[in-house]
Amino acid sequence: MVSRLVVGAHYGWRDWLAQRVTAVVMAAYTVILAAVLLLSAPIDYGVWHDLFAQGWMRVATLLFAVSVAWHMWIGVRDILMDYVKPAGLRLALQVFVILTVAGYLGWTVQILWR
């Protein structure tokens, strides 16, 4: 019998799961938005503006944006861990990615609640 003692902080498992959960959130938003846009065509400024003026749409889009940011960070971090070996360069790129993703999220909030 193999008795395995699992130790550690489980960061890898948490990120792995977060990437899957955010993927499901994004997929749901994508399908809903695609349906709304296909049903409300043609899209002029009034339709577009009114869509994003609604409370549920803003909150849904915010949840989507948070999911994108989280998912994006884990995905790009994985790419950097696979291909960029020098630790200093990798750290610098990872910091850049975190700042970029945070900037994207802040900008999205600003667009939604202007």
Partner 1 sequence: MSQAAANKKRPKYLNLSALLFEIHLPLAGWVSILHRISGALLFVATLWLLFMLDRSLASARDFAFVQHYLGLLPVKLALLVLIWAYCHHFCAGIRFLLLETQRGWDKPTARLSSIVVLVAGLVLAALFGARLW
Residues that bind partner 1 (CB under 8 A): 20, 23-24, 27, 30, 44-45, 48-49, 52, 68, 72, 75-76, 79, 97, 100, 104, 107-108, 111, 114
| Nearest-5° Cα angle at 56, 102 to 109 | 20
Q: Which is nearer to partner 1, 3 or 65 (CB)?
A: 65
DSSP symbol at 113: T
Calpha distance 50→60 (Å, rounded): 15
Q: Which is nearer to partner 1, 1 or 56 (CB)?
A: 56
Q: Which is nearer to partner 1, 1 or 37 (CB)?
A: 37
Considering the complex, what minimum distance in angstroms separates the CB of residue 86 from partner 1?
19
Considering the complex, what minimum distance in angstroms separates the CB of residue 20 from partner 1?
6
Q: Which residue has the tokens 């200093």?
A: 88
Give every CB contact of residue 93 below 8 A, 6+ residues apart in sequence: 80, 84
Q: Is the C-alpha dihedral spanning 109, 102, 43, 41 positive or negative?
A: negative
Q: Which is nearer to partner 1, 12 or 44 (CB)?
A: 44
